Structure 1
Amino acid sequence: MLDTHCRKYIQPFILGGANILMKLKFSANQVTILALFLGLATGYLVYLDYPFIGLGLLWFSGYLDAVDGTIARTKGSTPFGTVMDITFDRLVEIGIILGMACRYKEFTFILLVLACAIIVSMTIFLVTGTMANKKSEKSFYYQAGLAERSEGFIMFSTMIILGEKAYWVIIIFIVMIVVTVLQRFFEAKKILNN
């Protein structure tokens, strides 16, 4: 939801970072890889009990994730770049979930439920994006929903900050993703049954 409605307000900041990195001769794929490693470090730092350092890396990783898309749209995106971007986003989420599960063993089951909800949401998102004839400024059809990337970062950040008190935040996050699953499912039915 925030990605869809607020991107225009932060795009100048993202474009500034993209311009700097393009002047330094970074490709979109190189920025995607850098964002992956910073994001994966988040889960490890959570596990080691350095949540605030991990949090800083998570948000810098997320910023670079937006910058890589701007670079790709400026220089021309590639299908493999899109595959890398979407796959690496999920790897960062997996890293955070694993870091939380290893640090807070009492959350293992509920974090598994969260991972399952993300899998279902992304499955609908990717299949609809592949099957839909609609295009967006991205290289595939982008289905909006209640829990997009920014909401995910906010919820993961809140989980990291609260640590052992994050149980209800995880539950709320799961509910947000389930609502998104339903939104995307019914939108897919409308789009693909025409």
Structure 2
Amino acid sequence: MLDAHIRPLIDPPLNAAGRQLAGLGIGANTVTLLGLAIGLVAAAMIALGAPLWALVPLVVSRLADGLDGAVARASHKTDYGGYLDIVCDFLFYGAVPLAFVIHDPAANGLAGAFLLTSFYFNGTSFLGYAILAEKREMETSAQGSKSLYFSNGLLEGTETIGFFVLICLFEPFFAPLAWIFGTLCFATGALRLWAAQSIFTNDRETE
């Protein structure tokens, strides 16, 4: 919901940094994988009981996630780069809740499982929508220039990163926050399904 409002603020500095990195010969995929590695370091720190320290690599990882697209735009965009980016994003998004479960399975296990299930449902609705939008040659630039069609929703990347920061700052409240955020993820996926019905329903139904 907030991504479209954040893009005009963060795109100019990211694009400038992307041009510099591209000029140094650093590829977008390298930035993507580096961002994932740093994000997994943050998850490992959470699992080891240091969520506040994990904030630094977590934020750096997400900066890299925005920077890889800027590098691609300044050099050479590829479908594989966009594919790699979304795969790495989903791995990172799953690793953080898992880290909280590993740290305290008794307190966080059920809420963490609920949250990951909501991510699974919401992510599937997002990717399925992108596939059908591609078939119909739909385009959007609200979330910036993307290799995939990015459908909007109640919760997008900005809200998810904000949630991750929140649970790192207030680790004892992971469970209630996860229940709330997971419920909103389910709502986001359900609303996307409802929107897709009006757009993608054809006379001939296919599976």
Relative to the length of structure 1, the TM-score reads: 0.94
- In the alignment, which residue of structure 1 is the partner of 2:152? 144
| Partner amino acid, structure 2, of 1:164 | P
- Once the two structures are TM-superposed, the CA of residue 181 in structure 1 deviates from its matched residue by 0.7
> Which blocks of at least 5 consecutive residues in structure 2 are unaligned?
203-207
- In the alignment, which residue of structure 2 is the partner of 1:135? 139
Find the structure with the greater CA-based Rg: 2
2:120 aligned with 1:112: no
| Partner amino acid, structure 2, of 1:112 | A
- Once the two structures are TM-superposed, the CA of residue 176 in structure 1 deviates from its matched residue by 1.8
Q: 1:157 aligns with which of 159, 165, 168?
A: 165
- Once the two structures are TM-superposed, the CA of residue 94 in structure 1 deviates from its matched residue by 1.8
**Residues 26-51 of structure 1: CA deviation (Å, up to 9, x unaligned):** 11100000000001111100112222
Does the aligned pair in 1 maintain the 2:154–2:188 contact within 8 Å? Answer: yes
- Once the two structures are TM-superposed, the CA of residue 164 in structure 1 deviates from its matched residue by 2.0
| Partner amino acid, structure 2, of 1:160 | C
Does the aligned pair in 1 maintain the 2:28–2:81 contact within 8 Å? Answer: yes
**Residues 67-97 of structure 1: CA deviation (Å, up to 9, x unaligned):** 1112223323212111211110111112211
- In the alignment, which residue of structure 1 is the partner of 2:69? 69
Q: 1:15-164, aligned counterparts within 5 Å?
A: 15-105=15-105, 106-132=107-133, 133=136, 134-136=138-140, 137-164=145-172
- Once the two structures are TM-superposed, the CA of residue 173 in structure 1 deviates from its matched residue by 0.8
Does the aligned pair in 2 maintain the 1:42–1:95 contact within 8 Å? Answer: no
> Which blocks of at least 5 consecutive residues in structure 1 are unaligned?
none
Q: Distance in 2 between matches of 1:135 and 1:4?
A: 14
**Residues 119-146 of structure 1: CA deviation (Å, up to 9, x unaligned):** 1111111111011120233112110111
Q: Distance in 2 between matches of 1:11 and 1:100?
A: 31
Q: What do you get for the CA RMSD once the two structures are aligned?
A: 1.4
Higher helix share: 1
Question: How many residue pairs are counted as aligned between the two chains?
Answer: 194
Does the aligned pair in 1 maintain the 2:112–2:175 contact within 8 Å? Answer: no
Identity within the alignment, %: 28
